[in-house]
């Protein structure tokens, strides 16, 4: 018969184990919160988002067989079809992003601004101006909070890169 009293029946956590667990959770919480809140509002993050969106628009132009125009100015940038045909995907302005189901328009946060710049991608994904291949790069400059970052669309290939000038 087992005894009903003693260390065998009432096993639990020691105070040291509880303190160690709480310390680990506190360190994880601080680490995650520092990384989580700061990234979505920095100029570097917004420049990277713009570059990803430019690449996405380039792929959409090739997929849809439509020329798409990206316009950046002030605190936002948006995407429209060059030819305003009444059928999808060009029946809305800005165009509807098939990945999200919402308008392909981005408003920058934390008083960031983008230079007045435009680029058009033809149905082959090439950067053009009125149907003629670009010979110089198009640079979208984002600035705010004392920082400046650029998203550059290379001529002919349409390769998009991000840099901090």
Domain boundaries, the chain: 43-163
Q: Which of 153, 157, 165 is nearest to 71 (CA)?
A: 153
| Dihedral angle sign, alpha carbons of residues 27, 31, 37, 42 | positive
Rounded CA-CA distance 74/106 in Å is 11
- The answer to whether residues 114 and 73 touch, using CB atoms and an 8 Å cutoff, is yes
- The answer to whether residues 70 and 54 touch, using CB atoms and an 8 Å cutoff, is yes
Rounded CA-CA distance 121/133 in Å is 9
Name the CATH superfamily, with its identifier, for domain 43-163: minor pseudopilin epsh domain (3.55.40.10)
What residues are paired with 73 via a beta bridge?
A: 76
**pLDDT for 41:** 66
Q: What percent of the chain has pLDDT over 70?
A: 87
Rounded CA-CA distance 99/25 in Å is 36
If you average pLDDT over every residue of the chain, what do you get?
Answer: 87
Give the pair of three-digit tokens for residue 139: 């640079």
* 82 DSSP assignment: S
Mean pLDDT of 49-65: 94
Q: Is the pLDDT of residue 87 over 80?
A: no
How many other CB atoms are found less than 10 A from the CB of residue 61?
25
Torsion of CA 19, 20, 22, 25, to 10 degrees: 170
Q: Is the pLDDT of residue 88 over 60?
A: yes
- The answer to whether residues 110 and 47 touch, using CB atoms and an 8 Å cutoff, is no
**pLDDT for 86:** 73
Supply the pTM of this predicted model: 0.74
**If pLDDT is split at 50, 70 and 90, which confidence band does 53 have?**
very high
Least confident of 85-89, 94-98, 104-108: 85-89
């Amino acid at each position: 018969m087992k005894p009903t009293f003693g260390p065998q029946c009432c096993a639990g956590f020691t105070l040291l184990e509880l303190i160690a667990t709480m310390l680990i959770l506190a360190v994880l919480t601080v680490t995650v919160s520092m990384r989580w809140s700061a990234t979505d509002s920095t100029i570097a993050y917004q420049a990277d988002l713009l570059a990803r969106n430019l690449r996405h628009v380039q792929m959409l132009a090739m997929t849809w067989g439509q020329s798409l125009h990206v316009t950046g100015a002030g605190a936002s940038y948006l995407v429209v079809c060059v030819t305003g045909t009444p059928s999808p995907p060009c029946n809305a302005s800005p165009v509807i992003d098939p990945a999200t189901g919402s308008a392909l328009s981005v408003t920058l946060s934390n008083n960031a601004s983008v230079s007045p710049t435009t680029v058009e991608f033809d149905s082959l994904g090439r950067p053009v101006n009125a149907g003629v291949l670009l010979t110089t790069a198009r640079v979208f400059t984002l600035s705010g909070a004392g920082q400046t970052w650029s998203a550059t669309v290379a001529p002919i290939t349409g390769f998009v890169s991000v840099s901090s000038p």
